[in-house]
Amino acid sequence: MDRFHANGSRLYQVMEKEKIANGINISDFTVGVLAQTLKDEMPEVAHAVTASPDYWLAASKISVNTTNGIKAIGKFAGKDFFKVFSYPLIEGSPDKVLGDKGKVVISEELAKKLFHTTNVTGKEIVWTNPELQNETHALISGVFKNTAANSSSHFDFLVSLDVLLTPGSQFTQWGNRGPNTFVVLKKGADPAQFSKKLGKVLLSKGIDINYRQLFMRPYADGYLYGKYENGIQTGGRIDYVKLFSLIAIFILLIACINFMNLSTAKASRRMKEVGVKKVLGAGRDSLIIQYLGESLLLAFLSLFVALLFVELILPQFNQITGKELSLHFNLRLTLILLGITLFTGLISGSYPALYLSGFNPATALKGKLSQTAGALWTRRGLVIFQFTLSVVLIVSVLVIYKQIEYVQTKNVGYKKDNVLSLFSEGKLKGNIKSFLSEIKRIPGVLNASSMDRDFLGEFGTTVGDFKWEGRNPKELIKFQNAEINTGLIETLGMKMALGRSFSDKFGSDSSKMIINEEGIRVMGLKNPVGKIFTLWNKNYQIIGVVKNFNFESLHESVKPLFFRYLENNTNRILIKIKAGKERETIEALKEFYARYNPGYNFEYKFLDQDFQAQYVAENRVALLSRYFAGLAIIISCLGLFGLATFTAEMKTKEIGVRKVLGASEWSIIYILSKDFITPVLIAVGIALPASYVLTKYWLSTFAYRIDLKIWYFIAAGVLALLISWLTVGVQAIKAARMNPINCLRDE
């Protein structure tokens, strides 16, 4: 991801480390004028650009007129954007396309949707976004190729950053942050030294660097290494890459072990072959080469079959993982595949080759194979290793399933079911109050309200200028915040711990504020209702305390939050509808919307869809883990089956003698099966503490998590024992039913 940029080795993202009351927070939000400042004041900088995150303009629409627009994702970007990032332009010059705030650059795909051609420079379009109250007319200054699948940023159009950097704008003030900053260092510049110099930039602008510090990270690292804890980089998506790579290696090792066990289990059938070859002068080296060659041949045949399977199942895999992977051969991939195959063939064939080539010629020609304690425990050790991995995977799958079930059913402090969410556009802008009043009369609509942003995971943040009674001025506290309408708390079923919510019954609440329980706790306020909270030099009276609710995923703990009442600033409408009447109510809403807001479609989503979207990665991990665990268990059972086969062959005459002397089939099955309980029990004993450590570590990534219960581990151990007994039992029953005459006959 993100390694296709021409300046990739010198491309960095500026990050900010801020010291707050409960630790150190890492953010990619920066000052809007930082890029230009770095370019002007730091000689190490070749290019620098400021750009907004994709989600700022994610809900935009582009049209040739003012209605029936096409959904599009936009970005605000500085004029050096195409010098910093390698998004090829089909039309336009990298130096000029973003030099005018009345111009936009659009993607190849968007150009074809709007005009059926990419020759569109100079044509006018209209773009709009719920965050902005006005529709903006702009001229197309360029067309860029569609963003690649391996780009972490996906956008359809770019707007000049100058739209935001107007005199007096919050984005020009060093106390405020919002967009992202990217720099390309000159060749030979030392990134570590430059990162240290960044502190001087803030200091020169009057920022206390004891609380706010700038640093850099390689831009391409952002996708995989995006997780920080208390200011320290601790992982990210790379954790899942490592996890599944490790599982893949273990499954491959299990397969190699199976080959060893199955090869040695059938050794008696090749004893005479070995004896004849040795009598005719074949050395041990030549036999080792022969058996390794057979193993390598099998491995390379497996490679061919594996590539065929990958090509067939890749579309389904992409659907599961949400990626766009494809199989393209190049020298690097070819060498890696050949290396893995060669390694697999040598590892899996080494033990059988050494074992088979070591037979004594005289013993081999007699067809008598003695079983040493060392050889027996080597095979049992391999089975222990296999089942240890299998039990760890079984426990992991169970814990992941229970944790996902927990986060989906936990009381998060609001009621997300049957809540529709839609953007205000067209006539709705500026008429939210009348629209809400009308839809509340529709049968099936229980309540409706609005707010200034998506409810989940997109609240604003501030460590700005605020005061309250008894505040420690040296303590930096970060608040999440949102501007809401009356009825929002009731629409979402949130509960008030103290005081009241915003209401029209008490006149204007524009100078009032509601804070969550965590905010009150951090502030250290007692009896907060009625107290004054000063925000940006304006006094707000605290009229209520809302009970804590999880507006982020359960990976995060509840953070301090305040609500302000600003009805005209809201642009997301939330509608609670009656359960069991969803279809009729939505149809009625569509009909009303078409009359009220002609030219615009009734486009909505359910709030619980956004909730589920927070756990896409976890759901994918759960699904893939089930596949991997099933595969590992099946392969492990094959290994156990191989060991059972070997044991049965070694005890053929013993079985015959016992049957002649009157032993029952069940007693023989017991004799053959009991030897396998020990290695599986040992595997369970090793796997359970190992799985406890691993699952506890994974659960630590959630602020809210299940307790590890003992029955998870007992169930996994019992399941492993049951699977092993069934696997061995099949072979034991087959051996017990053999004719005693065939057992005692010398072949």
pLDDT in tens, 59-85: 788 888 755 678 899 999 999 999 999
What pLDDT score was predicted for residue 267? 60
What pLDDT score was predicted for residue 371? 55
Total residues belonging to the chain: 747
Beta bridge mates, 498: 545
Q: What is the 3-state secondary structure (H, E, C) of 545-577?
A: EECCCCCCCCCCCCCCEEEEECHHHCCEEEEEE
pLDDT confidence of 56, banded at 50, 70, 90? confident
Q: Give me the amino acid identity at 419.
A: V
Contact 276, 365 (CB under 8 A): yes
Higher model confidence: residue 460 or residue 252? 252
Contacts of 131 (CB under 8 A, 6+ apart): 56, 57, 59, 571
Most confident of 38-42, 190-194, 475-479, 544-548: 544-548
239: pLDDT strictly greater than 70: yes
Q: Name the packing angle between helices 710-736 and 616-650 (round to 10°).
A: 30
- Ranges of H-type helices in 137-236: 191-204
pLDDT confidence of 104, banded at 50, 70, 90? very high
What does the DSSP assignment read for 108-133? Answer: HHHHHHHHSSS--TT-EEEEE-TTSS
Higher model confidence: residue 695 or residue 286? 695
308: pLDDT strictly greater than 70: yes
Q: What is the three-class DSSP state of 609?
A: helix
What pLDDT score was predicted for residue 258? 78
Domains and CATH numbers, the chain: 1-52+164-229 (3.30.70), 237-370 (no CATH), 386-410+615-747 (no CATH), 426-599 (no CATH)
What pLDDT score was predicted for residue 570? 85
User: 187-196, 213-222, 395-404, 494-503: which range is least confident on average?
Assistant: 395-404
Residue written as tokens 């150190």? 24
Beta bridge mates, 229: 232
Provide the Cα torsion 52, 55, 56, 62; round to 10°.
110
Contact 560, 525 (CB under 8 A): no
What pLDDT score was predicted for residue 490? 93
User: 108-117, 621-630, 670-679: which range is least confident on average?
Assistant: 670-679
555-582 residue pLDDT tens: 888 889 999 998 888 888 999 999 888 8
Higher model confidence: residue 316 or residue 612? 316
What pLDDT score was predicted for residue 507? 76
**CB neighbourhood size of 42 (10 A):** 18
111-157 residue pLDDT tens: 999 998 999 999 999 888 877 767 788 899 999 999 988 898 899 99
Q: Give me the amino acid identity at 365.
A: L
| Run of H or E residues at 288 | helix 284-321
498-529 residue pLDDT tens: 999 999 888 778 899 999 999 999 888 889 99
pLDDT confidence of 54, banded at 50, 70, 90? confident
Residue written as tokens 């970007």? 77
Q: Please give the share of the chain, as a percent, with pLDDT higher than 70.
A: 89
Output the CA–CA distances (angstroms, integers) from residue 354 to 87, 160, 248, 729, in the order listed.
56, 70, 27, 30
Beta bridge mates, 235: 227
Residue written as tokens 């360029």? 142
What pLDDT score was predicted for residue 275? 66
Q: How far apart are CA 28 and CA 217, in angstroms?
A: 10
pLDDT confidence of 729, banded at 50, 70, 90? confident
340-369 residue pLDDT tens: 999 988 888 887 777 666 656 655 555 555
| Run of H or E residues at 278 | helix 271-279
Interval 699-710 mean pLDDT? 86
Q: How far apart are CA 249 and CA 254, in angstroms?
A: 9
- Ranges of H-type helices in 651-664: 652-660
Q: Please give the share of the chain, as a percent, with pLDDT higher than 90.
A: 27
Q: What is the three-class DSSP state of 242?
A: helix
For 530-560, give one letter per residue: b (16+ CB within 10 A) or e. Answer: ebebebeeeebebbbbbbbbbbbbbbeebbb
For 228-264, give one letter per residue: b (16+ CB within 10 A) or e. Answer: beeeeeebbeebbeebeeebeebbbbbbbbbbbbbbb
136-148 residue pLDDT tens: 888 999 999 999 8
pLDDT confidence of 88, banded at 50, 70, 90? very high
638-675 residue pLDDT tens: 777 766 766 666 666 677 777 677 777 777 777 767 77
Q: Structure pTM?
A: 0.78
